[in-house]
Structure 1
């Protein structure tokens, strides 16, 4: 059982699968904030232990390349068939007997294959979950292993898991933070029993210091942070203007997608970017018409003949036929292309585009501001999935629109 579990736990496929699984779970539960240098194997990682949620939090936080495996109490997790089935499928567990003669030899045999493959072995030196804020004493096994296998020790502090899943309690939502410390050389720490005990005491104090040095941070995804930084820079409105411009020329994704996927990281960004998108879209109509009348044609990607015929019919009377674009789903570039075939003055076409596109995009921006206010706490940790969902939503809408106008 030990050899098999170690092999599975340290595999690349298993590491990636469990990492993605637990990241998804924590995104739903309240998010996990990760600070400090990410662990690199081979190494022994030691952490405080206050909840069964500690292991999932670590698997969500640790890079899959570290191929983590977690030392687990065999008497708790592997003697009962149900517990064994659960832990064997979703946790890379290394079963070890805690209170028997030869426990250290069993621990050494369990971790050896993982360390030899360059993985990170996770150990909770307290040996059991604490029920208070006090971190229990650290057993010297982790220090002895690190010294014997000549691998570094990595201290780690886990915050918030006891509130998510307290001992003898039920699961509830809440944020979590995993703080990784700097790895340090373990050579000679366990030269004798007293040295191993002293090193374990210092290791416990380091984990406690890491845990208590600052309040737990609110979970923020790296995707949200990157997009928010972009929105706060000059590239935010410039990018929004460029997207609007491209929408009226050639882009298959409408300008509204920019607002949905990028602008809403903070409510204050939405309306300014909506103005930039509307200005870009209006400018794009002007450029499209002017160039088309000079023989420079743009490919009308993802459009149909019926769309072009409908736009031509709407513009047959006057430039205000462009207002139909606000509701019918036909891309504005189709109206710009058809407007170029008429004898309407460019200024009138641009004026109608400014009113029509401005009204639609600003209305979308107003709704987006409200959605951003409402979803802001969750959006800070779920922006990556939100962007993916926006892309999928656009693709489904594009398919529906294409079928409708085919």
Structure 2
């Protein structure tokens, strides 16, 4: 009978780093997903390894922690004179990035060789052999420390190319949305030299940068329309909807803000302005005795709006964003009830603002989070239109 211990059993000393690695991977995956998305191609080999990557941004560390396998419990080599120069930086680097200090002014090789036992135990050590962040997209000279560490531990060197972090968090720049991609290459022998490793990383980086992000032709056309006429279109759509048009501006916001998230605020504000302007016009037309067509509305909607306006005055419009009664019904009934212009303007702006800006922000956030899936924008439009039609049908039927 064999007396060998089960291979799947992990000692408490090995479980702790792996649990921390799982939490860090989840943390940074969530952060990068919220800032534009993160993708990985390739995997690390089994057992310990030294990962070498290009370095253009502080976000490179987050990209690797979010994508490398947690079973390797990656450790990140960090500049001792920067990340460990103060207690708060030391805590951030150690706890959130599993960083360990590497001196850049002498003694750095000794700092690296202290990780030999952890490599032999199956962990991954991540190093940026350039020693500092680049700013022009070109790789600098690779220092030998990472290669000497791999040779001493007898583990492979794994090249990795990172793209997108320079746009996400540029050197001396501000954070902005960007898709981050990591491509893990084939392992190199422990005897690999600095130039061989540099060429492997450069090739991976070039392939990752050159890989196009698939897009939808429909989304590109919508984006072009938004750039040229988005504000005007949103204003006119919302204005005529407040008078007679049956399709709510939220449908337009769903299409536009998801296609061009950066335009969500200005398009939503234009829709709000159009809705308020149309509501004021509908109020005065109704007060003058005009009776504009109002398709997809019912007598019960008009009766409900009339009763609440008589009871509460202009504040009754605050129920409109949630009860399914179109804004044009409230505007027309407010005019017939003699509601004052000032009170109507104040309360209708607040009511419509809560809904219009909220919907625009929600669809803008959706487009931002699903940036990587913009190739599916045509399908999204079909689902949006279908869902809107079903919802509108249910509302009209409920108020019939």
- What TM-score, normalized by structure 2, do the two folds share? 0.50
